[in-house]
Structure 1
Amino acid sequence: MKNVMRTSPVTLLIAAALIIALPAVADDGGTKEAGLTDQQFFARVDLSLPGLSKVQETVSRSDWPQARKAWADYLRNRDNVKHFEARFVKDRGPRKSKLPRYPTWAESRVANLNERIKDGTFEPHFQARYDGDTLGLITLYAQSQDSKHAKTAAWLIRDFVERFPYPSELWDVTPDHKGGTPEPWTTLNFGLRTGYSWWNSYVTFRKDPEFTDDTLVIMSKSLIQQAKYYSSLSLTQRDTSNWMGAEMVGLYTIGGMFPECPESAMWRKFAIEALYEFTDWRYLPDGTFFEFSFWYSHLGFNGVQEIYERAREWGRHDEFPEDYLKRAEKLADFTMKLCPPDRTGYFYGQGHSEEASHYLAFTDNLLLRALENYPHRDDFRYVATRGKEGKTPDFSSVYLPYGGICIMRSGWDTSANYLALDAGPDGRASHAHDDANSVALWAYGHPLLYDSLHGRKNLGGAKDHSTVFIDGKTAKRNNNYGSPIDASWESTPEYDFACGVSRVGDRNPVHVRRVLFLKPDLFFVIDDANVPGTPTTHQYDLYWNLLTDQVEIDPDTMAVVTREDGKPNLAIVPLASEGFETQVLPDPENRSYFKNIPARLVTHRTESETLRHVTLLVPLKPGATNPVETVSIGDGNVYSVRFTDGRQFRLKIEPGDHGRIHVEEKGGAGRSVVAGNSPSLLPTEVFTRIRQTASPEDYVRLRSRERKQPE
């Protein structure tokens, strides 16, 4: 990591002792910290406000030690700012916190923090990220009221200010995302530090004797300086991806935390206007985030909700545009539309840990939180409470036309079958993945085909997705937001049909994936692929990422069946096996997030000039076995499947990779389906809107709302 200030262990220990034991050097204006003397700091506070008479009196006679004490006493006891817990601290949802799963997480976190401080490896910019160290201290303090945790929290703040008093005094602060901006002053760390870790420390520890007067004064000086720093940056100096959510929470929190500062109203307005535009500028009309990453879309959405919730606590809703919540409702709606049966959240692009995504409540918590702002949404309530309250959404399967995401579900119950196909762009930011036409599948509510979420864009194509690889690579998608998403969608009570096309230029590999869902339990996946140019042999791999290591392969049919006792399973049945081989590989990558969850990668591989492969995915109830008895292929691309219960299916595919698909069923429901009649849902005018709203080069809207810092 470049340009980060490094400190030797010995120096750090000496500095730690000095920070806690000694004040900074004084001058005629009092003590100088964070680039401000006491005199300069109090000049930036409206001392005529109620409750500040003692501070005003001591400042008038330049009694700086007493002025500092009076300010600290005021902060501890004032009643004009409500001291609520930030959302990263509060628990919510049916599976509320880490504590049941990791009962000693706080002790481990704090022990690790203390060890890093002791051996000199602590770096303050990491303390800002994710608020983890502060949360550990807060948790232990709530359990024990031990002042040593308040002392450590105070040290964290004072150590940061000692090392990095103010960016203009130490650094060129222009972020360039090429290693030129020191981590402490990246705009993301500014937001996480000021909006979460420092705010939570102040709320929790401000009345503890170890959270000293000097700590409160130093924190106040630094926060006001940091707000000045951030609000003075131009749009091109700030980040405009998911970071903006955290950045504006930080700026808004400082503005709400210090109403005594005349600039506070401007800081709050700045944050509100930026996120108001953010919901339209970075989120497409169907709620898809321009980075095309589920997890990071919610980091941005968190900021949009967070400042409104803090405004509710502070009684400042009148500062928001009347349609602020209405404008952001599509972001919560997006969450519900993608919600799988177990309420974890369908992840595409880079996500968070696999443990979080598959084993902890995710969508439950997001929608429960959204209900605080949208109490009229009974469909949110139904999904979040798993059907115990509210009303069933008025749709089941859904296509998000701006994101190119196809969601097929048998229903909204927690034991439903569910498949998601990603047919949209791969995104324009580092959290996007090369996951063209990948699928994820839940069988009777249990996740089985998964998206690993691993790594960033260059790593995200490395066998981490259930899609087709051509000569070891995925096909390219047209990632120009001004071009059509080449996808098709049909949905009826009997079936869903989706088609995604990866086809860019005249020389790149082409992959067309079609999925036909015969409700409620059969998914036909038709893959066509080729490499334009002189005919030659290529290697085609169909990768299936399974969230279990209990896998069996039928050596004759190459059917792959998971075998988890007492849980739903999945049968992956090729309808033609000639020329293919099958392998079951261990977890394909050394994924740091995925060490304790079993996984297997299955590949159906062939070498040929072109690929045509049809796979039947059959969800299996607990205890059930593979119901497919025989498969065969006849002339004219006609596939026949016989089930052990007597049902027979005849699948005919018309010529070409967009030919219609005919299915005739004998026995059972006796269905007759013709799928593949619909073109893309997006008209030309929509493509223009995508280009205008999602292109990272288009700064017009936010530029018009920039506010310069007053002199």
Structure 2
Amino acid sequence: MNVAFEQIACYLREEDPSLVESIVIKAQLALKGKQVLPGTQGKLEYIGSPPDWTHNKFNDKGYVWTLNRMQHWRTLAQAYLLTGEQSYVECIRRELADWIARNPCPPIPEHAEEAAVLFNGLDGWRQLEVGFRMCEVWPFVLTVLKGIPGFLDMLEEQVKDVVRQHGVVLRQISPMLFPNADHNFYFTQMAGLLSVSILYPDLPDAKEWRKFALDELDRGLVRQFTAEGGQVEGCPHYHNAVISHLSKVVYHAMRSDITFSPFFLKRMKLAVDYAVQTCRPTGAAVPWGDSDPDEYPGEIAWIGALIYGTHKQLQIVQGLMGRARSTSMANKLFFHYPELFHLLRDSDQTEEPGNREEPPRLYWHKELKQVTMRSDWSREAYSVFFACRLPVYNSHAHVDPASFDFTALGKALVIDPGRYGYWREPERRHFKSGSWHNTILINGNEPFEYVDSWTFGPQESGWIEGCEDDGEWLRASAVHYSYKPSVHRRELVLVPGRFLAVLDTLTGLQHEDIVSQYWHLDAEDVRWDDTEQMAASFNKDVNVAVYSSGGLKGELLPGLISEAMDHSRPSVRLELTDVANTKPTRRYATIIVPYRGQDRPLCKVQLHETGENAGCVVAYKGELIHLPLQG
């Protein structure tokens, strides 16, 4: 066994037995052909070993594609390293031989139209899975199998040839399908191509593939990552996934003396910054667009420090996650990044949170039209992610212009619900809809049409107008024209330690137009008080109250929150409808107050208008706070 693997296995057995137990349990289930995959609704189901690689058993395209990523092989390989039990690697070898025999590579066509058909099918050769296997799964698994003397002798030539076929597909098909290098798929594919050239450097085309992949990764960074560091789709999950896939290959490439351009390394450092800035104070990613509130930021922080030297960002995320959670994340990465083992023990990376240099409280990603504001960089911070980007970049976006995600006191409170999945209706429609976000609808109409999972109707324009941190408040404003001729302008004012104010102005309304606000609360027990014009959650620990400026009809609606694909849990949505106002210009002030236990702070909000000037007065715990409305 590889010496580094032996050291890591010994360390994990001693220091993180719960992780070892988790890996072994999953591996034992995989031996029995049982997995959780897209389409199984978060439940353990019998898949088979070897499975039927192309049978869509659960009527979910993601099932076939994810099965063909073979992620359970990583678990089996890790279980072997941790226990020495040969049955785990024998299972991989058996399934590997079966997959090679039953999944021949399609012919390589000359034209993109034919390539799009042959390599986007419901089988093991969809181009994304080809890249994913080569950068995420096979390099590690083959390293483990080759470390067992004679274990792959009977399969070695077949394995090498099928890896070569992967290289051919990635070199010839991927550029046909993504000539502009402007999709997250393409990054995974070029990382996979680079990985092939490292796995088998003696392949005839390995040198050319390596050069091409390195050039395309630079081109992809120009096309896919903004000068401010964000991946162009604007979804934290896909941003982090691209860094994760790519960095595994970058790590092994550097160990093979492959160099990357200064531009590449600088842009990747900025990408790590974005991952940190779009992290809730809880340490989870903001689930904006097709994203989950996952712990990707913890992974990105560790590999960023190891590969790109972003040690300050690691310290920030450690402070948010806590040392125990952060260490647990590192433990999960050791087999892929053996040198991370030494970084964890490096005393230079163990500064106490109070000694670290903190980033600014305000982060405006102008190109992605996103703003993050937070009271500070502690886990208890008041923090809001705010975005308004129309037209959308692609269909990973949701129908949510000028919506936001608010966290305070260590808990997500008024939230983006996540993504849940891609192929099931009506869940997909719900999770993408405006009424499941923190938005405004007019006459019950969404800001733009949801056609199907991957298609929207036409959109108008929308953007972030500006933001500032004046030392006391943090403020950001957005505008969009989805309801032409009406215009919706929204301002968020974060008053640290007190509340988040949401100030909405709608102009150009017709006499009969009905305006409805929607607020999605991470709670199962929410109560509306019509007299106070206030809704409050009744959680055991941290709660939130939503105070309206008045005159609205309140209704509590069922919702769902998804924290992982195919998983959801109940929540409550608050609908506030203005049924009486007939003015062409209508203004609303909503004050969102977090608090612990049931000790709800006294708060009242009152709008005032004098000619063109408008604002609101918030009475919070006896203190009067004046907030002008801009626009």
Give the match for residue 283 of structure 2: 343
3-state secondary structure, aligned to 1:142:
helix
Distance 1:333 1:382 in 2: 11
Number of equivalenced pairs: 555
Give the match for residue 694 of structure 1: none
Distance 1:295 1:568 in 2: 26
| Structure 1 contact 392–412 (Cα < 8 Å) conserved | no
Matches within 5 A, 1:351-362: 351-352=291-292, 357=293, 361-362=295-296
Give the match for residue 529 of structure 1: 506
| Structure 1 contact 551–560 (Cα < 8 Å) conserved | yes
Q: Match for 1:364: what amino acid?
A: G
3-state secondary structure, aligned to 1:167:
coil
Distance 1:589 1:503 in 2: 28
Per-residue deviation at 1:101?
Answer: 7.9
Structure 2 residue 411 is matched with structure 1 residue 446? yes
- Cα distance change of structure 1 residues 101 and 261 upon mapping to structure 2, 3 Å threshold: closer
| Structure 1 contact 325–373 (Cα < 8 Å) conserved | no
Give the match for residue 254 of structure 1: 196
Distance 1:442 1:170 in 2: 50
Give the match for residue 163 of structure 2: 223
| Structure 1 contact 175–186 (Cα < 8 Å) conserved | no
Q: Which blocks of at least 5 consecutive residues in structure 1 are unaligned?
A: 1-75, 660-711
Alignment partner of 2:491 out of 511, 514, 517: 514
Distance 1:244 1:512 in 2: 36
Structure 2 residue 134 is matched with structure 1 residue 194? yes
Structure 2 residue 463 is matched with structure 1 residue 463? no
Distance 1:147 1:468 in 2: 58
Give the match for residue 380 of structure 2: 415
Distance 1:179 1:206 in 2: 29
Per-residue deviation at 1:187?
Answer: 1.6
Distance 1:83 1:137 in 2: 18
Distance 2:502 2:244 in 1: 36
Give deviations 1:3-55, integer Å, cap 9, x for gaps.
xxxxxxxxxxxxxxxxxxxxxxxxxxxxxxxxxxxxxxxxxxxxxxxxxxxxx
Per-residue deviation at 1:372?
Answer: 1.1
| Structure 1 contact 138–201 (Cα < 8 Å) conserved | yes
Give the match for residue 547 of structure 1: 522
Q: Match for 1:251: what amino acid?
A: L
Give the match for residue 706 of structure 1: none
Per-residue deviation at 1:251?
Answer: 0.9
Give the match for residue 21 of structure 1: none
Give the match for residue 369 of structure 2: 404
Structure 2 residue 79 is matched with structure 1 residue 140? yes
- Cα distance change of structure 1 residues 196 and 648 upon mapping to structure 2, 3 Å threshold: closer
Matches within 5 A, 1:174-573: 174-176=114-116, 181-208=121-148, 211-233=151-173, 235-238=175-178, 240-317=182-259, 320-352=260-292, 357=293, 361-375=295-309, 377-386=311-320, 388=352, 391-425=356-390, 427-454=392-419, 455=421, 460-461=432-433, 463-476=435-448, 485-503=463-481, 506-507=484-485, 510-529=487-506, 535-565=510-540, 567-573=541-547
Q: Match for 2:48: what amino acid?
A: I
| Structure 2 contact 448–459 (Cα < 8 Å) conserved | no
3-state secondary structure, aligned to 1:217:
helix
Q: Match for 1:111: what amino acid?
A: K
| Structure 1 contact 154–210 (Cα < 8 Å) conserved | no
| Structure 1 contact 157–215 (Cα < 8 Å) conserved | no
Give deviations 1:307-335, integer Å, cap 9, x for gaps.
32111232323xx2243211322111111
Structure 2 residue 564 is matched with structure 1 residue 599? no
Distance 1:102 1:110 in 2: 12
- Cα distance change of structure 1 residues 121 and 530 upon mapping to structure 2, 3 Å threshold: farther
Per-residue deviation at 1:179?
Answer: 8.9
Distance 1:623 1:435 in 2: 31
- Cα distance change of structure 1 residues 462 and 652 upon mapping to structure 2, 3 Å threshold: closer
Distance 2:216 2:50 in 1: 41
Per-residue deviation at 1:161?
Answer: 2.0
3-state secondary structure, aligned to 1:312:
helix
Distance 1:468 1:206 in 2: 58
3-state secondary structure, aligned to 2:155:
helix
| Structure 1 contact 286–403 (Cα < 8 Å) conserved | no
- Cα distance change of structure 1 residues 591 and 350 upon mapping to structure 2, 3 Å threshold: same
- Cα distance change of structure 1 residues 372 and 479 upon mapping to structure 2, 3 Å threshold: farther
The structure having more radius of gyration, on CA atoms, is 1
Per-residue deviation at 1:493?
Answer: 0.2
Distance 1:83 1:103 in 2: 20
Distance 1:488 1:397 in 2: 11
Matches within 5 A, 1:590-669: 593=565, 595=567, 597-607=569-579, 608-609=581-582, 611-622=586-597, 624-628=599-603, 630-634=604-608, 636=610, 637=614, 639-643=616-620, 645-653=621-629, 658-659=630-631
| Structure 2 contact 32–48 (Cα < 8 Å) conserved | no
Q: Match for 2:196: what amino acid?
A: I
Structure 2 residue 559 is matched with structure 1 residue 587? yes
Per-residue deviation at 1:160?
Answer: 2.2
Q: CA RMSD in A?
A: 3.8
Per-residue deviation at 1:526?
Answer: 1.1
Q: Match for 1:489: what amino acid?
A: C
Per-residue deviation at 1:217?
Answer: 1.7
Alignment partner of 1:123 out of 51, 54, 79: 54
- Cα distance change of structure 1 residues 178 and 639 upon mapping to structure 2, 3 Å threshold: farther
- Cα distance change of structure 1 residues 126 and 493 upon mapping to structure 2, 3 Å threshold: same
| Structure 1 contact 443–570 (Cα < 8 Å) conserved | no
| Structure 2 contact 227–267 (Cα < 8 Å) conserved | no
3-state secondary structure, aligned to 2:523:
coil
Give the match for residue 99 of structure 2: 160
Distance 1:513 1:96 in 2: 50
Q: Match for 2:587: what amino acid?
A: R
- Cα distance change of structure 1 residues 505 and 617 upon mapping to structure 2, 3 Å threshold: closer
Distance 1:517 1:96 in 2: 42
Give deviations 1:54-108, integer Å, cap 9, x for gaps.
xxxxxxxxxxxxxxxxxxxxxx9xx9xx9989x9xx99xx999977889844434
Distance 1:217 1:185 in 2: 20
Distance 2:266 2:377 in 1: 25
Give the match for residue 339 of structure 2: none
Per-residue deviation at 1:415?
Answer: 0.9
Give the match for residue 691 of structure 1: none
- Cα distance change of structure 1 residues 109 and 540 upon mapping to structure 2, 3 Å threshold: farther
